[in-house]
Structure 1
């Protein structure tokens, strides 16, 4: 019985079969899987999780993209002004 486990369909964690029914009832009631990072998060904290974890990453990515766009425009301007 020591190695008898089942995977929870909600949080995707491996749970001992002896505790599976109790785990699944709790998990389905209180937890959801984040669609972006697939982390198990309490339902009541999902908005907070997405703001803290994912908005900061998006802002960082957007900053990186803006510097690439600026560099690309400069290269295009340089190639246009030097072409005869």
Structure 2
């Protein structure tokens, strides 16, 4: 059994079968896959990870006349900016 490995369904890492049960219990309790980069991240650090790694450069604002175009990786929205002089 020394050379046997199993893939963890939570973090998708290859783990030695001898340690799999302990790894899986720890992994399910403390880690989550980031939906953007699919890297295992501690649950307690997910917000910080997303803000530092993915939020920067995700939204661009272009001023065009009386509207702001917000371009994200998921959608494009126009918002009225009549309050911008």
TM-score normalized with structure 1 length: 0.68
What are structure 2's unaligned runs of at least 5 residues? Answer: 63-85
Superposed displacement of residue 58, structure 1? 1.2
Q: Which runs of 5+ in 1 are unaligned?
A: 67-84
Q: Residues 43-54 of structure 1 correspond to what in structure 2 (within 5 A)?
A: 43-54=43-54
Structure number with larger C-alpha Rg: 1
- More helix per residue: 1
SS of equivalent to 1:10: coil
The structure in which a higher percent of residues are strand is 2
Q: What is the number of equivalent residue pairs in this alignment?
A: 63
In structure 2, C-alpha distance between the alignment counterparts of 1:29 and 1:57, rounded to whole Å: 31
Q: Could you tell me how far 1:56 is from its partner in structure 2? A: 1.3
Q: Deviations over 1:2-34 (max 9, x none)?
A: 320000000000000000000000000000000
Runs of 4+ in 1 over 3 A off after TM superposition: none
**TM-score, length basis structure 2:** 0.67
CA distance in 2, matches of 1:2, 1:47: 37
Q: Does 1:22 align with 2:22?
A: yes
